[in-house]
Amino acid sequence: MKRLRMHRSVTGGRLATDAGMTMVEVVIAGFVGAIVLLAAFTMYLTSMETWDVSGARLALQRNGDRAVKRIAFDIRHGDTVIVGADSTSIAVTRTMSGATTTLATYALIGDQVVYHRHTSTDSTVIAGNVTDLRFSSSNGAKVWISMTLADDMGTTAVPFDDQRVEINSVAVCRNEPIP
């Protein structure tokens, strides 16, 4: 007759014949798992908010940059700039064959920068959400442009997304040929 021998080995402070987890271990594992998931979800929400804010700022920056480049383009093709009395408008002029012609005018109307080309009767909005626009020139040839853009400043719906961008540039009249 054969005898069965049973033996116990100790592994990691526990008998090899023990199986499963205790209730305390299950609760602790669940608690740690919940903390990890909560941290991951919080990081996700924070990154999405940051993405939205960055997108809003980038949209304002692009809007303003495009407008300033358009204004500078016309200034480079003119030979004189006349700054309006309120400093929020300019007229770019050019003298050809002894006659002075206005190439373009720019003005802040409400919260929009409006562009008017001398060859057209229509005006075009080239930038919105503009809270401030200033032109200055000491000699009529070198023009400082300062533009501030903002989106939904002061709204209580989403106060963390208030964005404000300031763009400053200098353009010089060079009387370049008009393409």
pLDDT tens, residue by residue, 57-76: 888 899 999 999 999 999 99
Distance CA 89, CA 56 (A): 27
Report the half-sphere exposure of 150 (CA within 13 A, side-chain side).
11
169 phi and psi angles, rounded to 5 deg:
-155, 165
What's the pTM value of the predicted model, to 2 decimals? 0.70
Residue-wise pLDDT tens digits, 130-173: 999 999 998 888 999 999 998 875 555 555 567 889 999 999 99
Confidence of residue 95 (pLDDT cuts 50, 70, 90): confident
Mean pLDDT of the chain: 84
Both structure tokens of 3: 């005898």
The average pLDDT across 40-67 equals 86
Confidence of residue 54 (pLDDT cuts 50, 70, 90): confident
Distance CA 114, CA 122 (A): 10
pLDDT for res 163: 82
